[in-house]
Structure 1
Amino acid sequence: MTKNNSYKHKKDPHYNRAKREGYRARSAYKLHEIQHKYQIFKRAFYILDIGCAPGSWLQVAKEHAIKNLEKYNDQYYHREEYKIMGIDLKHVTPIDSIEILKSNITDPETRQKISNFFDDKIDLIISDASINKKGDKFTDHLNQIRLCYEIIKLIKLFLKKKGIFVLKCFQGSDFKTLHDDYKKEFHIVKAYKPNATKKKSNEVYLIGIKKK
């Protein structure tokens, strides 16, 4: 880490808070904000995190899944255990009771492993996955859009009816088309930019509620 980056981190309240509270990255607070606004973790026991490195979203997901086992032990929708899987091309340091795959989501073998692990439809799919940026906003936007369309293939395959997804996108020329395409799959699709997102970032999250 350069001295300049080190200084920026020290000035970043979300980075410092993550260090204090044991999260692997400041991105944990983006997910906390999304949860606060949309209650995405309500009755979520089976959770898939796509692009999970370094693991902060997995940490948040596990916290809520454990709470849900106690909170929603009633006659309505309930599972006897939680299952959480994270997928990334990068190595992710293990987290107790979470399955982590170093794998490509376009690989048929990856899809088979997802199916075998959950052995049922998934309650919640979250993705903070991002392409490797080239520095050109237009190119980066298009590449991220392509990634989002790969992720929707998994959503169609594995997310349960009335399930929820959270997906990182980049704002740009094709964002509305992507938004409209997700609306075909969900009753409600919202675009949201958490306060924890860096001000100069063009990233925005799509939240899909109640899969059709």
Structure 2
Amino acid sequence: MAKRILHDEYFRKAKQEGYVARSAYKLLQIQQAKSVIRKGDRVLDLGCAPGAWLQVSSPLVGPRGRVIGLDLQDVRHPMPDNVRTFVGDVFEYPPEDLVEAAGRGFGTVLSDMAPKTTGFNEHELSVRLCDRILETLPTLLRHNGVLVMKVFEGAEYPGLLKRCQRHFGKVKGFKPKASRDVSREMYVIAHYYRHPDRRDDDTPKPRDADA
């Protein structure tokens, strides 16, 4: 019963504070712990509907920043002026168009996407989804940028972390308190993207002590 009360608490908070989904608190907690979004940033939210992560990202980037969302479904909830959304398949939509809408490459790429199917292969499918996201980064994510993406824990999870470490200077798993206790969901938090077109020895500027 206690678990259900906790979960209902986030649902009620979302309604009271104007968020379209309780998932807003996952990103808020990720931001508080790992500082993944900066003022003035360009942020891309893959699989953005219904829009809770867009709502969280907007004030974090501020009026000089920009948040771009992409999903197969239209985001119907009104969004602030620094947010633009597009309808399309994450892996088929031209990435150059997203960068153009942002004005420059993204400093942070977010993904709260999960496989549509549930069951014994949910973990494997979520890992494949993350691998496909990694493949899109050279066009989307700037050098030293940040990636946040959801995956379900399982046998292939450590391998995914190792693959992320090939592309990022620092990679950690993180489970927000707002995630349901019974869920296997985990968020891969990756800082300091090593863009393939940048082979220099830039010294990354840490976003916080625990980044």
Q: TM-score range by the shorter chain?
A: 0.7 to 0.9
Q: Which amino acid aligns with 2:184?
A: N
Q: Is the 8 A contact 1:10 1:16 kept in 2?
A: no
The answer for unaligned runs of 5 or more in structure 2 is 195-211
* Alignment pair present for 1:92 and 2:80: no
Secondary structure of 2:11's counterpart equals helix
Q: Which amino acid aligns with 1:114?
A: L
What is the CA distance between 1:9 and its match in structure 2? 8.4
Q: Kindly provide the amino acid, as one letter, of the partner of residue 85 in structure 1.
A: I
| Runs of 4+ with >4 A deviation | 8-11
Counterpart for residue 181 of structure 1: 163
Deviation at 1:154, TM superposition (A): 2.1
* TM-fit CA distance, 1:10: 9.6
- TM-score in terms of structure 1 length: 0.83
Q: Return the alpha-carbon distance in structure 2 between the equivalents of residues 165 and 10 of structure 1.
A: 28
Structure 1: unaligned runs, 5 residues or longer: 1-7, 70-80
1:103 aligns with 2:108: no
Partner in structure 1 of residue 129 of structure 2? 147
Secondary structure (helix, strand or coil) at the match of 1:173 reads coil
Identity %: 29
CA offsets 1:37-73 (integer angstroms, 9 cap, x no match):
111113452010001111000000001111xx5xxxx
Question: Given the alignment of the two structures, is residue 33 of structure 1 paired with residue 47 of structure 2, yes or no?
Answer: no
Q: What is the aligned counterpart of 2:101 among 110, 113, 117?
A: 117
In the superposition, relative to structure 1, how do residues 90 and 203 fare at CA in structure 2: closer, same or farther (>3 Å)? same
**What CA distance in whole angstroms lies between the structure 2 residues aligned with 1:10 and 1:121?**
38
Residue in structure 2 matched with residue 72 of structure 1 by the alignment: none
Instruction: Kindly provide the CA deviation profile for residues 83-140 of structure 1, in whole angstroms up to 9, marking residues without a partner as x.
Output: 2110111221142322111111221x43232132124221111111111123x13x11
2:48–2:69 CA contact under 8 A, matched in 1: yes
Which 10-residue stretch deviates more, 157-166 or 200-209?
157-166
| TM-score for the superposition, normalised by structure 2 | 0.84
Query: How far has the Cα of 1:11 moved from its partner?
Result: 6.2
Which has the larger share of helix?
1
Conserved? CA contact 1:51–1:89, under 8 Å: yes
Q: Distance in 2 between matches of 1:35 and 1:157?
A: 24
2: distance between equivalents of 1:65 and 1:38?
A: 15
Q: Measured at CA, do residues 140 and 116 of structure 1 come closer, stay the same or move farther in structure 2, by a change above 3 Å? A: same
Which residue of structure 1 aligns with residue 179 of structure 2? 197
Q: Which residue of 2 aligns with 1:82?
A: 65
Q: Of the candidates 31, 56, 60, which is equivalent to residue 60 of structure 1?
A: 56
SS, match of residue 92 in structure 1: coil
Do 1:166 and 1:205's aligned partners in 2 also have CA atoms closer than 8 Å?
A: yes
Q: Distance in 2 between matches of 1:44 and 1:150?
A: 27
Q: Alignment partner of 2:107: what SS?
A: strand
Residue number among 108, 112, 128 corresponding to 2:112 in the alignment: 128
Gap change, CA 1:11 and 1:174, over 3 Å in 2? closer
Query: For 2:130, what is the secondary structure of its paired residue?
Result: helix
Question: For 1:126 and 1:59, how far apart are their aligned partners in 2?
Answer: 13
Do the aligned residues in 1 keep the contact of 2:150 with 2:185 (CA within 8 Å)?
Answer: yes
Among 111, 126, 144, the alignment partner of 1:162 is 144
Maintained 8 Å contact 1:187/1:210: yes
